[in-house]
Amino acid sequence: MEKFVKKSLKFSILIIVVILAITVFFAKIAKDNSRLETNLDKYMPQDHPAFKYSNMAEEWFNIKDAVVIAIYNKNGIFNYTTLKKIKSITKELGKMKEIRKEDITSLYTADNIVGTEDGLDVRSFYKRVPKSKEKLEKIKNMVVTNDMVYGKIVSKNLKVAIVIARIDDDVFSQDFYHRILKLAKKYEGPEKIYVAGRPIVEGTLAYLMPKDMKKMVPIVIIFILGVLWFLLKSFKNTITTLIVVLISTVWTFGLMAAFHIPIYAVSTMIPVMLIAIGVAYGVHLYSHLELHMKENPDISKTDAIANMVKEMWKPVMMAAVTTMVGFISLLTSQVYPVKYFGLFSAFGVFSAFILSMLFIPAVLYVFKLPKFKSKKEKEEHTKIYFTATEKIIKNKKLVIIITFIVLLLSIYGITKVWISSSFLAKFEKDSEIRKTDKFVNENFGGTTTLNVILEGKKKDTFKTPEVLSLMLKMQDKVTKSLPVVGDSFSLADFIKRMNKVMHADKEEFNNIPNNKDLIAQYLLLYEMSGDPENLWRVVDDKYQKANLTFQLKSDDSVQLKKAIKVIETFRDKFEKLGIKINYAGSGYKALVFTDLLLEGQISSLLVSLLIVIVLLTLMFKNFYIGLIGSVPIILTAVINFGVMGWANIPLSSTTALISSIAIGIGIDYAIHFIDRYRIYAKEFKDKDLASKHTMYHSGRAILFNAMVVIAGFMVLVFSVFPPNRNLGELVSLNMFTSFLGTLTIMFIILYIKNIYFKKEVKNENEA
């Protein structure tokens, strides 16, 4: 190995040039082909049964996510200026190529079902905006007496009206997003205009993601530079180590772009992740080089570099492989962004390892070797680590007791962990998008929808009074029992309205008539008089399938599950009528998304843990070493979830990555420590001496490594996205836990078990 390295060093300049050329190639690909993916539906596996069914239902009933524009006038909306703005906004939206006119609902376009001498008629509330008080008052009265409009597109305090523009999934773009915002701003004053809806959430994510990435990367570079310089005391070594991780980041995004994999929200953390993780390899290499040169002050440059590569390639490679395993285990997830994050982060780690083993030796060979501290300073530092080792051994029982107590507290904390599917939770509570959503939710039914799809066995199932009455009963039960459910809408609302207006607007007829033929007659009259498009959003043309929509004031999975739990109490009653209940829409898909997230988290955690134990066993040729080496990461995983529970941090698409990341990175510490402990066990034949020297050699490097990684991840506290901040805090905590667990509890178990000193112990017993 050493001879091969020495021969390779002669080609150092060529190695540097080739690496830089590959980097330029990947940088060009990344620049030309990279794209952001903010369509939240694209985050989900489209071949999953729940998504397949939801997509079919969306086709049946033209279910689409909507942009919601709310017009607020503190003096009320029933005046010429505000009604004119509602009309103008509606018309301007209709001119946009991304929106069909039929998919816009506002007070200007809404159907007003009324009874006439000739029967049923469907009219608009207004075409020309009236100026007289009498006509404005008439429109207001029509709205207040119409349950299909009042509280749905005009708030009950009559101060807010909304314009709803439903759009297809594939039409949203950054240009469209900014045109919508520009349109809203154009009509502000004296009215306040709010823009909400899932597409706006997506657009805001797309706008803030690159800005956040541009801010994060320079900050993490500055932090890492500072920490590396403090640890390595060499500007050249600091820059070289940083260049390695920057190149690996360029290679990673270049490869993503080459395979046309988009950049998801979670992908924006890859640069921070790779910069924080990748520098660890350089730290270990330089740390070994420093110690070896202190012990051999007259060694030649070639021999020093060759020894560094020879001694460190195996533990560094194993550290890289186990880190890759942590990321690759995320492929068990069915959530696309998580899969791609794992796969390309693993490639980035692999790149950082290869570059560390090629680029760093090449740079060391081309330039002068660094100068290190004097022998006297070495002895002072050695004493610190030796003393620390003695204290850990002396207090081993106390360490075990403390570890046990922390574990018990963490296990209790795990019971408090909850799952969040909320995409709005990605934003600050006082952010404009959250405040807008809150405003719309306070005045209307809610910006999150849950579509309940009812399928009958026979044609005209949904013309029967029993079925429609049961639908209405379910709507009432869900909306009244759950404050988070603000409103609901179904075919039953149409029938109620038609029955009322056909009986001179008498309130006692605001219900479902107990006559199938009468219901059929109402529906025929509506089809002839109104716009069937509106009807086909709640029922199919055979009246065999129906779409019942619940509006929720939260997009969180906890609230969605509560609504579904109440809905499920009606399943048996519907089945007795030959009707199946299914679910569709973005709200339900987000709920399934969280379940897949949890399944993926558990499976990736178990897979990565199992593979790591196997790899450690193979590397050290001892199953017990595999188990002992996994102790710090098991502790870390338990403590991580415990802290999440105690701190009320939910498991989300971002925080779900933590355990696999922690296992992948944290196991590095165990590998380096055990490998050096094994070497010194053979060299010194004395357990205490081996322990002390291991603590000085690997313990020191592990401390440096942990400091760099923690500093790198703590930079995420500057992110505009709260889940990213949680990730930074938790991964930093995990790295500290892994570092501390390796140098305390794992070391104590290794020390007590005498695995590398069994022969000596046996001989002593025989004597």
Domain CATH number, residue 393: 1.20.1640.10
Do 169 and 24 reside in the same domain of the chain?
no
Contact at 8 Å (CB) between 487 and 152?
Answer: yes
Identity of the amino acid at 699: G
Do 70 and 86 reside in the same domain of the chain?
yes
Contacts for 733 with CB less than 8 Å, ≥ 6 apart: 639, 640, 643
Do 127 and 270 reside in the same domain of the chain?
no
Which of the listed residues 585, 614, 634 is the one where a domain comes to its end? 585
Helical (H) or strand (E) element with 499: helix 491-501
β-bridge mates for residue 545, sequence order: 455
User: In a 10 Å sphere around its CB, with 0-12 CB exposed, 13-18 middle and 19+ buried, how is residue 377 labelled?
Assistant: exposed
Identity of the amino acid at 427: F
Do 258 and 149 reside in the same domain of the chain?
no
Do 402 and 492 reside in the same domain of the chain?
no
Do 192 and 242 reside in the same domain of the chain?
no
C-alpha 15/C-alpha 692 separation (Å) is 38
Coil, helix or strand for 523?
Answer: helix
Distance of CA 382 to the CA centre of its chain: 44
Do 548 and 439 reside in the same domain of the chain?
yes
Do 445 and 367 reside in the same domain of the chain?
no
Q: Is residue 5 part of a domain?
A: yes
Q: Is residue 228 part of a domain?
A: no
Q: Is residue 222 part of a domain?
A: no
Do 640 and 717 reside in the same domain of the chain?
yes
Q: Is residue 519 part of a domain?
A: yes
The whole-number pLDDT of residue 762 equals: 47
Question: Can you give the residue range of the structural domain that contains 528?
Answer: 49-209+430-585
C-alpha 543/C-alpha 516 separation (Å) is 13
Do 558 and 643 reside in the same domain of the chain?
no
Identity of the amino acid at 755: I
Helical (H) or strand (E) element with 33: helix 12-33
C-alpha 63/C-alpha 65 separation (Å) is 7
Looking at residue 568, the DSSP 8-state letter turns out to be H
Contact at 8 Å (CB) between 447 and 441?
Answer: yes
Identity of the amino acid at 638: V
Which of the listed residues 532, 562, 585 is the one where a domain comes to its end? 585
C-alpha 608/C-alpha 412 separation (Å) is 24
C-alpha 81/C-alpha 72 separation (Å) is 12
Q: Is residue 496 part of a domain?
A: yes
Q: How many domains does the chain have?
A: 3
C-alpha 203/C-alpha 180 separation (Å) is 10
Q: Is residue 601 part of a domain?
A: no
Do 61 and 201 reside in the same domain of the chain?
yes
Contact at 8 Å (CB) between 634 and 403?
Answer: no
Angle at 442 between CA 436 and CA 447, to 5 degrees: 60
The whole-number pLDDT of residue 767 equals: 41
Secondary structure, 3-state, 253-290: HHHHHHCCCCECCHHHHHHHHHHHHHHHHHHHHHHHHH
Do 67 and 165 reside in the same domain of the chain?
yes
C-alpha 528/C-alpha 531 separation (Å) is 8
Nearest to 172 by CA among 77, 264, 64: 64
Q: Is residue 611 part of a domain?
A: no
Q: Is residue 41 part of a domain?
A: no
Helical (H) or strand (E) element with 161: strand 160-167
Contact at 8 Å (CB) between 621 and 389?
Answer: no
Q: Tell me the average confidence (pLDDT) per consecutive run of 10 residues in the chain, 767 residues long.
A: 83 94 96 78 76 91 92 96 96 93 93 81 91 95 93 95 89 84 93 91 79 82 85 86 93 95 82 81 88 85 92 88 84 81 92 94 87 56 87 94 95 88 81 91 92 95 96 96 94 94 90 94 84 86 96 88 95 96 89 78 79 87 91 90 90 72 78 91 91 90 85 84 84 90 95 78 45
- The CA-atom distances, in angstroms, between 112 and each of 274, 442, 497, 562, 752 are 59, 25, 10, 33, 82
Q: Is the peptide bond before 190 cis (omega within 30 degrees of 0)?
A: yes
Looking at residue 64, the DSSP 8-state letter turns out to be -
pTM of the entire predicted model? 0.78
Looking at residue 743, the DSSP 8-state letter turns out to be I
The whole-number pLDDT of residue 40 equals: 63
User: In a 10 Å sphere around its CB, with 0-12 CB exposed, 13-18 middle and 19+ buried, how is residue 508 labelled?
Assistant: exposed
The whole-number pLDDT of residue 662 equals: 72
Helical (H) or strand (E) element with 357: helix 336-366
